[in-house]
Amino acid sequence: MTLGCAAGKVILLGEHAVVYGQPAIAVPVIEVQARATIEPGAAGQGVVVWAPDIGKRVVVREAPDDDPLACIVRHTLQKMSHGRASDLTIIVTSTVPIARGMGSGAAVSTAIVRALTRHFDQWLPSQAVSDLVYQAEVIYHGTPSGIDNTVIAFEKPVYFVRGVTREVFWVGKPFLLAIGDTGIESPTREVVGDLRQRYHADPAGYGSLFERAGVIAVGARAAIAQGQVDALGLLLDENHGLLQQMGVSCPELDRLVAAARDGGALGAKLSGAGWGGNMIALITEETRGRVDLMLRLAGASNVIITEVR
């Protein structure tokens, strides 16, 4: 039996704007994990992926090209020159919430890549893992920015500019985030497509919003590197205002953001595609309990506390 694991993630700043060439920052969330376990399969079955959490069974050799689980297996085997692998069963489980902006699909794909490379006693650098996972991300999201596969493959805070740079960077002072779940699935492909249509109708207006989000991300990187937590909180608040103007927030997200601020959060915003999913709040040890309570009272279906370091 061979095991591969991968953490979830949240986008700290710059979602949506990153699709249009602006920088974004994402951080791993180790409190949630995807796991892929490889076991010998029945003779003649080929490679089979079994995801009991969602009741899905994929026979890789029979699956269509647009099946993300089959896609990641095929690309990984080809990368390792094992295009026709022996009979294997890959069992996938995950505690990463689905459709909540926490990189569930990318985490599952990364766990599969890591399990397969270990099973065949090979090693791939983080960039190669990220590139493989991106192939499945295209199936999941249509036009992904590439930030999910990057931060999950590297498992470090990442400063990302699509097609330009992906830089792991260091945190000057660890900080805490509360992740509040609206309980509503976030339809990433639909949100991204809707925003793209509105951008094409008003490129100047939306372009200025994206540019401002990029400026905020640059400032946030500096604040994080210098341990300026209060400054980071203000930038989170400003970024949420821009996302509201982009039309990707929703009443449930705005309610949780307001509740977190009422609970003493230094800043709060939606995280990910929007129209549901999660929000994040910058908290301290002193405020974590109250923010957690306020989020749950405001309707959060779940709250995760994670430390970024």
What is the reported pLDDT for 144?
82
Instruction: Give the span between the Cα atoms of 175 and 284, in whole angstroms.
Output: 7
Report whether pLDDT(83) > 80.
no
With 0.85 as the threshold, say if the pTM is over it.
yes
Residue intervals of the chain classified under CATH 3.30.230.10 are 2-168
Which pair of structure tokens corresponds to residue 284?
A: 């301290």
- What pLDDT band is residue 146 in, cutting at 50, 70 and 90? confident
Contacts of residue 54, defined as CB under 8 A and 6 or more positions apart, other chains included, come to 98
At residue 145 the predicted structure's pLDDT band, cuts being 50, 70 and 90, is: confident
Nearest alpha-carbon partner for 295 in 278, 307, 309: 278
> Is CATH 3.30.230.10 what the domain over 2-168 is classified as, yes or no?
yes
Quote the CA–CA distance of 52 and 25 in Å, as a whole number.
32
pLDDT of residue 275: 97
What is the rounded distance in angstroms from the CA atom of residue 114 to the CA atom of residue 42?
Answer: 22
How much is the pLDDT for 245? 98
- What is the predicted pLDDT for the residue at 86? 84
Give the E-state strand segments of the chain in sequence order: 2-13, 24-40, 47-51, 56-59, 88-94, 158-161, 165-168, 175-181, 267-271, 278-283, 302-308
Q: What is the pLDDT of residues 1-39, one digit of tens each?
A: 899 999 999 999 999 999 999 999 999 999 999 999 999
For residue 185, is pLDDT > 90?
yes
Task: Look up residue 97 and give its DSSP letter.
Answer: P
Q: Which residues in the chain are classed under CATH 3.30.70.890?
A: 175-308
CATH of domain 175-308: 3.30.70.890
Task: For the chain, give the percent of residues with pLDDT over 70.
Answer: 99
